Amino acid sequence: MIEQAYLEGEALGLAVWGEDEAGPYQTKPYAGHSWSPEGHPGHYPHEYVRGGTAKIMTLFHPRSGQVCVKGTTSTTNLILHPWMKGELEKILAQLPKKEALADPAENRAEWLRWQVGLQTKITLPQELPRLRVLLILDNLSGHKSVDLVLWLFAHGIMPLYTPLGGSWLNMTESIQRILKRRALEGSYPRTEEQIMAWFETVARH
């Protein structure tokens, strides 16, 4: 189902996005290459104080490479869900409008096709808007909270959960590894705020 979303979703007029959280990243030196004046290589202290950790929340659109990143010290539902909803509302506002289908059964079929073959299916609400986005998420309990799932349905977003042990199917994990490499390798962040700012800066660029 996840592969089908990547291969067919955009062709069917659906935006395919992935969401994931990464971290914690510690305030410590990170191995890697860095720029230094010739003859003056960079040095790391032989002792350092770990001043805390930071995490990042990420939304990724594989087709275009667009990525939205927010640094945080915690990814509890109280922090993650409002951020996700805000970013998804921005994404939806940029998508072409879809006219309502005259036949409710045809509209429902658009949603049901993304549950074919699943052993555990999500119960869809009786009334559904036009489907506009497929959102690939890891199989975590927080991603399946009733409040979040109902909000997604109400906004035309179908959540697709990677199978247990198959979180690598979420391509957002791949972009997070690239972001980490560019943001942290060869650096020594002293504060959580530095880590978060560097991730967000790399994502913007």
Which domains does the chain show, CATH number per domain?
2-26+50-96+104-204 (3.30.420.10)
Q: Place 43 in a pLDDT band, splitting at 50, 70 and 90.
A: low
In this prediction, what percent of the chain has a pLDDT beyond 70?
Answer: 93
Beta strand 53-61 with 15-26 is antiparallel
CA distance 199 to 112: 37
| The overall pTM is greater than 0.85 | yes
Q: How many CA atoms lie within 13 A of 71 on its CB side?
A: 21
Please check whether residue 60 is in contact with residue 17, taking contact to mean a CB–CB distance below 8 angstroms. yes
For helices 77-94 and 146-154, the axis angle rounded to 10 degrees is 10
Q: What is the length of the chain?
A: 205
Q: What is the pLDDT of residues 177-198, one digit of tens each?
A: 999 999 999 888 989 999 999 9
Q: What is the pLDDT of residues 84-126, one digit of tens each?
A: 999 999 999 999 988 888 898 999 999 999 998 887 788 899 9
In 3D space, the residue among 55, 20, 27, 34 whose CA is nearest the CA of residue 175 turns out to be 20
- 190's enclosing H/E stretch is none
In 3D space, the residue among 137, 172, 142 whose CA is nearest the CA of residue 81 turns out to be 142
Give the full edge-to-edge strand order of the sheet including 53-61: 66-72, 53-61, 15-26, 133-137, 157-161
Per-residue HEC secondary structure of 18-76 comes to EEEEEEEEECCCCCCCCCCCCCCCCCCCCCCCCCCEEEEEEEEECCCCEEEEEEECCCC
Decide if pLDDT at 39 tops 90.
Answer: no
In 3D space, the residue among 184, 77, 63 whose CA is nearest the CA of residue 134 turns out to be 63
Please check whether residue 4 is in contact with residue 160, taking contact to mean a CB–CB distance below 8 angstroms. no
Mean pLDDT of 147-155: 96
Decide if pLDDT at 46 tops 70.
Answer: no
Q: Which residue bears the tokens 């003056």?
A: 40
